[in-house]
Chain A
Amino acid sequence: MEIINNFHHLIQIIMSHISHKSSEAENAQGEVMVPLQRRAFLRYSGAGVALSGLVLAGCTDDRLNDIFKQVDRNSGIVNVGSGDVGILNYAYALEQLEAAFYAKVMQEMFYQNATRAERIILKDLADHEKIHAEFLYAAIKAAGAIPIKKLTPDFSSVNFASRASVLGTAKAFEDLGVAAYNGAGKLISNPAYLTIAGKIVSVEARHAALIRDLLQNGTFVGPDVVDLNTGLEKSKSPAEVAAIANTFLAQGSKIDVSSLPKD
Chain B
Amino acid sequence: MNILKIITEIEKVDPEVYERLDQRRQMFKHFAGFGKKLAVAAVPLAMGSMFQKAYGQSSGLSAQIREVLNFALRLEYLETYFYQLGLAAPGLLTGQNRSDINLIYIDEQNHVKFLRSVLGADAIPDPTPNAFDYTGAKGGARAALLPNVFTNLGTFLALAQSFEDTGVRAYKGGAPLLISNNTVLEAALNIHSVEARHASHLRTMRRGGPQGEPLDPSSTPQSWPSGNDNGGPAPAITAAIYGAGNPASLYPSEANVIQGGLNVQNISQVSPSEASEAFDEPLDMGTVLAIANNFIK
Contact = CB atoms under 8 A, between A and B. Distances in A.
Interface of A: 115-118, 120-121, 124, 127-128, 130-132, 134-135, 138-139, 142, 178, 181-183, 185-186, 188-189, 191-196, 198-210, 213-214, 217-218, 220-221, 226, 228-235, 263
Nearest to B188: A185
Interface in B108-142: 108-111, 113-114
Interface of B: 96, 99-100, 103-104, 106-111, 113-114, 168, 171-172, 175-176, 179, 182-183, 185-187, 189-201, 204, 209-214, 222-224, 259-262, 264, 267-268, 270, 274-275, 277-282
A205 B200 contact: yes
Contacts of A202: 168, 172, 192-193, 195-196, 280
Contact of A235 (B99, B190, B213): B190
B194 A232 contact: yes
Q: Which 9 A-B pairs have the closest CB atoms?
A: A231-B110, A205-B196, A209-B200, A232-B190, A206-B200, A202-B196, A191-B176, A220-B201, A209-B197
B200 A220 contact: yes
Contact of A231 (B100, B114, B212): B114
Chain A CB within 10 A, most for which of B100, B182, B183, B194:
B194
Chain A CB within 10 A, most for which of B111, B193, B214:
B193
| Chain B residues touching A, majority SS | helix
Contacts of B282: 195, 198-199
16 contacts: A117-B213, A124-B274, A128-B277, A131-B275, A185-B175, A201-B192, A202-B192, A202-B193, A205-B197, A206-B197, A207-B223, A221-B201, A226-B107, A226-B197, A229-B110, A235-B186
Contact of B185 (A121, A185, A205, A208): A185
B204 A186 contact: no
B176 A194 contact: yes
Given A124-B277, A185-B186, A229-B110, A135 B197 contact: no
B179 A191 contact: yes
A188 B185 CA distance: 11
A210 B114 CA distance: 26
B259 A135 contact: yes
